[in-house]
Amino acid sequence: MARVSYIEAGRQAVAEEMRRDPLVWAVGEDLGRGGVFGQYTGLADEFGSDRISDAPISESCILGAAVGAAMTGTRPIVEMRFSDFALCAVDELVNQAAKARYMFGGQTRVPIVVREPIGMWRSSAAQHSQSLEAWYAHIPGLVVAVPSTPADAKGLLKAAIRCDDPVVFMEHKNLWPLEGEVPDGDVVVDFGKARTVREGRDVTIVSWSAAVHTAEEAAKTLSGEGVEADVIDLRTLWPWDKAAVLKSVETTGRLLVVQESVSVAGFGAEVAATVAEALHGVLKAPVRRLGAPRIPISYAPPLEDEVRVTADAVAAAARDLVTRINR
C-alpha cells in the first residue's frame, strides 16, 4: 500500500496502462503541460506528443476523432476538462460511440475512456459545477464510473482503459487532493461491484463520488446516537450493484440515497425505485432521496452552500427514517 492523492492515483493508472499497452493514448486540451488539474503531469515527457496529444479547443472534434481512432484499433483516453464542456460533444458520445457496437452487429467496438471532472468546486458557478452522471447512465452502450477514493480512482480507471466499450469516467474535482491508501501492483476494480464503506443494521445509505464522504461523516454522527448506518459506495452507476443494495436493505428495512446532483430525475431515483419495487414488503419506512434542488449552481459561496447536501442533512434524514417505526 502507498498513500497517494486521488489525482495522482489517476495519473499512475494512465501511466501504467500506457506502458502496458502501446495502443493506449490520451488526447485533450493542455495535456502537454500536465492537464488543467495536473492529472497528466510528466506523461508528455515519458510518452511524447504522439501519445499525450494536445488538441485545439473543440470538444466535438476531440471526441469525434477519438471515436474514429477507437473503432480502428487504438484505445484513446479523452480528457474533456470539465463535464459541462463535454456537452459540446454529446452527439459523438451518445449517438456514435454508445451505439456503434450494436448498430454494426458487433463488428466494431469503441474502447474509449471519456474523463469528465464533475461537481461543485471553489465557486466555479453554473457552467463548471454540474454532475450529470444520470444523463449517461440513461444511455444504452455506455459504462459510467464515479470513483470516490484514490484506490478506486486508480483501479476503476485501469478497468475503464481495458474495457472494450465506451466508459464515461467522472472524477469529482473536490476530491483531487484527497489522500488514501492505494494497493501496490496491477490492481483493477471490477465494474458493478459496490464497496461497503461502513456496516450497520438500522438504515442503508447509498451514495457515490464525493457524496460518499458526506454520507460517511453523517454515519459517524449517527453512530454516536446509537444509530448504525450501512453505507454503500456504488462505484459505478452502470452497471450498478443492485444485489448489494437489496441485500443491505433486506437487513435494515430503510433506504436513504444521497447524491450531490439535482435530485429530479437523478440516478438516486433509479436506486429508490428498484428497492421500492423489489422490497416493498420489507421496508419499515418510505424510501428517501437527498439531492440538490433543480436550480443552477451559483458563483457566490453562500448561495452555493444552499444547494449543497451536507452531512447534517443526511444525518437528519436517516434519523427520521429510523424513528418512523417507533411512532
Is 128 catalytic? The answer is yes
CB count within 10 Å of CB 288 equals 18
Instruction: Using alpha carbons, select from 267, 295, 301, 311 the residue that is nearest to residue 130.
Output: 295
Which grid cell sits at 226? 446509537
In the block, residue with C-alpha cell 436517516? 318
Q: What burial letters (b/e) apply to 310-321, b meaning 16+ CB within 10 Å? A: ebeebbebbbeb
Which among 128, 138, 172, 280 is annotated as catalytic?
128
Q: What 8-state DSSP symbol labels residue 36?
A: T
Ramachandran area for residue 267 (φ above 0: left; ψ -120 to 50: alpha; else beta): alpha
Minimal CA–CA distance to 279: which of 259, 255, 258, 263?
A: 255
Active site positions, annotated = 128
